[in-house]
């Protein structure tokens, strides 16, 4: 039985990350820095000797391009890849496209903080982290995890909040703890799982 390997990578910096905009399901591309972060992530994985049997990503280009750049570094550009909106970033609804400072002026510092940092309070027309987990987690359990448990080395390139949903389950974090968990862009987090899907070991390749 080969190792049960699961690697999670948040996409590289996007154009809207740089502009301090709420992005959500909007579809900006990577910045030059984001491209460099994705290439660096691929190099780190190659240096660890990793190759993959399958990859998963969202339907948003910043995650897909990050995945493509990593796979090019690893030498696996033709890898089987599944794309699904279950792995999309949290939908920020009416906040999408707004500068975070503009949003604070419109709704107030405290309200925007609640929308960004509470577990179950969604912004107008959008999703809370709890809502994001409700769509991401079933996809993980039904579509991603079976490949890992069969010994297929699995790479997931997605977004800060969709990956937080997976990390919450993998690391058995509380709603309070997951809100404090920051994920660096373009930094692979490597899990090896036990046969019962619990985490045997974790390695974070953030600089």
Residue numbers annotated as active site? 11, 89
* Residues 133 and 161 sit within 8 Å (Cβ to Cβ): no
* Contact partners, residue 9, CB within 8 Å, separation at least 6: 41, 66, 67, 70, 155, 156, 157, 158, 186, 187, 188, 189
Give me the phi and psi of 19, to 5 degrees please.
-85, 0
Exposed/middle/buried for 110, CB within 10 Å: 0-12, 13-18, 19+? exposed
- Chain centroid to CA 125: 22
Please say whether the dihedral angle defined by the alpha carbons of residues 133, 135, 139 and 142, taken in this order, is positive or negative.
positive
State how far the alpha carbon of 144 is from the alpha carbons of 2, 42, 136, in Å. 16, 20, 10
């Amino acid at each position: 039985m080969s190792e049960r390997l699961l690697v999670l990578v948040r996409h590289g910096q996007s154009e809207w990350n740089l502009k301090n905009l709420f992005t959500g399901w909007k579809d900006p591309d990577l910045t030059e820095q984001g491209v460099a972060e994705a290439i660096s992530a691929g190099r780190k994985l190659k240096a660890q000797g990793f190759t993959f049997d399958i990859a998963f990503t969202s339907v948003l280009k910043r995650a897909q391009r990050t995945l493509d750049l990593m796979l090019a570094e690893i030498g696996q550009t033709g890898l089987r890849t599944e794309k699904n909106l279950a792995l999309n970033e949290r939908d920020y609804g009416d906040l999408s496209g707004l500068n975070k400072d503009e949003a604070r002026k419109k709704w107030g510092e405290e309200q925007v903080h609640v929308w960004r940092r509470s577990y179950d309070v969604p912004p107008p027309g959008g999703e809370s982290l709890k809502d994001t987990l409700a769509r991401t987690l079933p996809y993980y359990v039904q579509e991603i995890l079976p490949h890992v448990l069969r010994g297929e080395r699995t790479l997931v390139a997605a977004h800060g909040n969709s990956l937080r949903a997976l990390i919450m389950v993998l690391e058995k974090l509380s709603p309070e703890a997951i809100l404090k968990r920051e994920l660096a862009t373009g930094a692979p987090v490597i899990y090896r799982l036990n046969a019962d899907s619990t985490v045997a070991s974790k390695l974070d390749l953030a600089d």
